Amino acid sequence: MNIKPDEKTRFEIFIEMGESVSRPKKYWDILFCLNVIDRHPNPTNLIECLRDLLKNEGILFLASPLDWDKNFTSSELWVEDTKSYLSDTVWEVVESKDLKYIFHYSTRKIIQYISQVICAKKR
């Protein structure tokens, strides 16, 4: 899905798999990958794809509660720190914080998550 902005906003939002985005390499200045990495079949490949789509000096916002599930990602690929996907030769981690939030399943069931939120600059 591609949401076209009006001319004043000067940005585009794409909601699709990173590997299937129909844009050339080094196209974006900023990318957001929020609560996806722990549901991807190969997180390393996803980060490499995002790296290719991002311009040099571009910014990547990466967030995940790292709530791994074998139905999505093989347990051999699980990590406890999302920064381990970001090679020091390619990325400079500008900021990394934990963000607590509550997810309401119903009026009687809630779960508290802590997402790791990272802002990284592509070298």
How is the chain split into domains, by residue range?
A: 2-122
Total-model pTM: 0.82
pLDDT (0 to 100) of residue 13:
72
pLDDT (0 to 100) of residue 17:
74
Please name which of 121, 9, 3 lies closest in space to residue 62, comparing C-alpha atoms.
121
Please say if the pLDDT value at position 117 is more than 80: yes
Mean pLDDT, rounded, for 19-48: 90
Superfamily of domain 2-122: Vaccinia Virus protein VP39 (3.40.50.150)
pLDDT (0 to 100) of residue 2:
53
Instruction: Note the pLDDT tens digit of each residue in 38-77.
Output: 999 999 999 999 999 999 999 999 999 999 999 999 999 9
CA dihedral 61, 97, 81, 100 (to 10 degrees): -100
Please say if the pLDDT value at position 102 is more than 70: yes
pLDDT (0 to 100) of residue 51:
96
Percent of the chain with pLDDT over 90: 74
pLDDT (0 to 100) of residue 85:
95
Pairing of the two strands 110-122 and 28-34: unpaired
Six-digit token string for 12: 């585009």
Please name which of 110, 89, 99 lies closest in space to residue 62, comparing C-alpha atoms.
99
pLDDT (0 to 100) of residue 4:
57
